[in-house]
Amino acid sequence: MSSRDAILGRVRRALADVRQDDTPPVPERPGRYPQYDEAIDRSYLREHGDRSVKETVDLLAENLADYRALVHRCTEEELPEVLMRLLTERGSTSVLVPPELPPSWLKAVDATRVHDRAESTPHELDRVDSVVTGCAVAIAETGTIVLDGSPDQGRRRITLVPDHHICVVRVPGQVVSSVPQGLERLDAARPLTWISGPSATSDIELDRVEGVHGPRTLEVVLVSGTPPEAEVTSQHLAV
């Protein structure tokens, strides 16, 4: 008897007293089993609760902080000074800059600009003190920031290798309540990075270690007073 026959024999003996069930599985795709389509409730909740725009933004800030991200609020005019303060407090002498980060954001910053280049090695990126990016969308209910590799965010690795990431979120244009609403704004073909707090992991003894596969410190700046050209339709926030 082969090992295969021995294993299958054990399986058959274990299932000997199990009642036969001919019910087909629940279909994964609508239309595969038409006779079951009407019985499946697909009226999923698109968001939880009834919140105003302000309440949605407050929930985002609360959940970001709960994930141990550092949250700051300012106006568009105050943003350059806020970024200068955050980088100075961090002691950053170099800052990684995506190709189309608005120049005005860093106009008050003295740190050396390091531009995102395809030939940059992980070791070179690791020597950079901080990275500043925009974002694609921020999800309030989960406290999640999503990057999609747009020119104001750069390639995925520039936000994974440096130890300090400052992400600027335009409020309320880039804030949605829920994951389904966020998915509507994203292109699944783009390189999406979903961030819920700083990078962290725990071993079997639950010792938390931060900065293993991403930045150890995540700071999120919620910027109100978004200029018209940067606005994203915020109809999903009118809850």
DSSP assignment string, 110-141: -SEEEE--TT--HHHHHT--EEEE--SEEETT
**The pLDDT of residue 202:** 73
Domain ranges in the chain are 3-37, 53-237
Euclidean distance between CA atoms 150 and 191, whole angstroms: 9
Greatest mean pLDDT among 37-46, 121-130, 132-141 lies in 132-141
Higher pLDDT, 234 or 168: 168
CA nearest neighbour of 66 among 143, 145, 163: 143
Amino acid 78 reads: E
Tell me: the pLDDT tens digits for 78-113? 999 999 999 999 999 999 999 999 999 999 999 999
Is the distance from CB of 135 to CB of 192 less than 8 angstroms?
A: no
The answer to whether residue 225 scores a pLDDT higher than 90 is: no
Higher pLDDT, 39 or 181: 181
> Would you say domain 53-237 falls under CATH 3.40.50.10420?
yes
The answer to whether residue 218 scores a pLDDT higher than 90 is: yes
**The pLDDT of residue 16:** 85
Tell me: the pLDDT tens digits for 32-86? 556 555 666 667 777 888 899 999 999 999 999 998 999 999 999 999 999 999 9
The answer to whether residue 230 scores a pLDDT higher than 60 is: no
Q: What is the pTM of this model?
A: 0.75
Q: Which position has the token pair 């783009």?
A: 190
DSSP assignment string, 44-92: --SSSS---HHHHHHHHHHHHHHTT-EEEEEETTTHHHHHHHHHHHHT-
